[in-house]
Amino acid sequence: MARVNRQILLRARPRGLPKLSDFEMRESPVPVPDDREFLVQAIYLSVDPYMRGRMNDRVSYAPPVALGAVMVGGVVGRITRSNHPDFPDGTIVEGRLGWQDYALSDGKGVRRIDPTLAPISTALGVLGMPGLTAYFGLLDVGQAVAGETVVVSGAAGAVGSLAGQIARIKGCRVVGVAGSDAKVEWLLGELGFDAAFNYKTEPDPAARFRALCPQGVDVYFDNVGGVLTDAVFSLLNVHARVSVCGQISQYNAERPELGPRLLWGLIETRSKVQGFLVSDYAPRFKEAGAALAAWLKAGRIQYRETIVAGLENAPKAFLDLFHGTNVGKQLVKVSEE
Ligand SMILES: NC(=O)c1ccc[n+]([C@@H]2O[C@H](COP(=O)([O-])OP(=O)(O)OC[C@H]3O[C@@H](n4cnc5c(N)ncnc54)[C@H](OP(=O)(O)O)[C@@H]3O)[C@@H](O)[C@H]2O)c1
């Protein structure tokens, strides 16, 4: 077994867009599990937009990562040494074990993964946090029902691609927006979106949304915020619901962006705008996990993963989320399955 544990630490708090130099790699000895602890070797590491918030020196819904501490992140890995009766050697697990080769755990917040159900990487995507986010954001917050028009921004990402497909399963008309022609092709082809466009080449997104949503918008699943969201707000129907999942266009803004003042429209339409955190739904994760697994097994949802090899490439993979390099879920492969 390796003796060295490579860890990626937060070195500096970024201003604006993060840089590779905001991270550093440290090598330390592989830790040894105590009684009722086990050691996990990372196989896949998830990089996610929420990590940008953890780099700030500001308590949000979760505390920041301390300078010099290991970056937070979801990991799928294998238990290589265990002193815990419930987690034997060889078990595949998923948990927030951080950007490192090896992590100790006492089992809290760690779940066992059944490798016969689906590829183990899906525990960080369609059968993990992004899948749960799409499910609750669309069905509980968005209350989407058959026949309604659902707009999804960030539609070719981990969460957005699933939110759109769940909306299709529920009989909605789904319109997506994403940042490349290849992404739009994927949405319209394999994923069965009814309409989609590339916002990076569209000079007038508001006009395009209007053309693609002739019946207006009943549910807006918002992953991005900014000008795209301003454009969708002007199309909300009476009693529309806006499910505010993410605002990635704003995460690197050093000052809040000024936008049109749209609240008057909410009075006219009696629309609801609600932010949510997937973690608030923990008591219902089993329900959503079962639904997602059944849809996946039946071939009713498709997923893609963009996988970068090597722990040392995790910072770059994370930064690339802000450039839209990923299609579907962005993962880092840390070691062989
Ligand atoms: N509320 C919750 O509990 C919860 C849980 C998970 C995730 N989230 C949020 O959900 C959103 C999606 O997360 P994810 O993990 O699925 O990430 P993702 O969509 O797989 O990756 C991020 C995507 O955002 C798009 N993007 C980047 N900068 C943008 C900009 N300025 N304007 C528009 N789009 C931009 C890029 O795609 P393009 O090529 O299309 O630009 C990129 O691929 C994020 O905002 C995240 O913070 C919220």
| pLDDT one-digit tens code per residue, 116-159 | 999 999 999 999 999 999 999 999 999 999 999 999 999 999 99
- The answer to whether the beta carbons of residues 144 and 219 sit under 8 Å apart is yes
Instruction: Evaluate: CB of 161 within 6 angstroms of ligand 1.
Output: no
CA distance 292 to 39: 29
Q: How far is CA 182 from CA 7, 68, 177, in A?
A: 34, 39, 12
Instruction: Evaluate: CB of 130 within 6 angstroms of ligand 1.
Output: yes
Q: Which of 57-61, 156-160, 206-210, 231-235 is the least confident region?
A: 57-61
Mean pLDDT confidence for 298-308: 98
Average pLDDT, the chain: 97
CA distance 293 to 80: 27
Mean pLDDT confidence for 74-90: 98
Question: What per-residue confidence (pLDDT) applies to 135?
Answer: 98
Q: What is the pLDDT of residues 14-32, one digit of tens each?
A: 999 999 999 999 999 999 9
CA distance 39 to 110: 12
Which residue has a Cα nearest atom 4 of ligand 1? 245
Question: What per-residue confidence (pLDDT) applies to 256?
Answer: 87
Instruction: Evaluate: CB of 231 within 6 angstroms of ligand 1.
Output: no
Q: Which ligand 1 atom is at minimum distance from the Cα of 245? A: 1
For residue 61, give both structure tokens.
């819904």
Find the 243 Cα to ligand 1 centroid distance in Å: 14
For residue 66, give both structure tokens.
């301390």
Instruction: Evaluate: CB of 99 within 6 angstroms of ligand 1.
Output: no
Confidence tier at 287 by pLDDT (50, 70, 90): very high
Instruction: Evaluate: CB of 184 within 6 angstroms of ligand 1.
Output: no
For residue 229, give both structure tokens.
């969201």
- The answer to whether the beta carbons of residues 274 and 243 sit under 8 Å apart is yes
Mean pLDDT confidence for 203-207: 97
Give the position of tokens 């993060």.
18
* pTM value surpassing 0.85: yes
Which residue has a Cα nearest atom 20 of ligand 1? 157
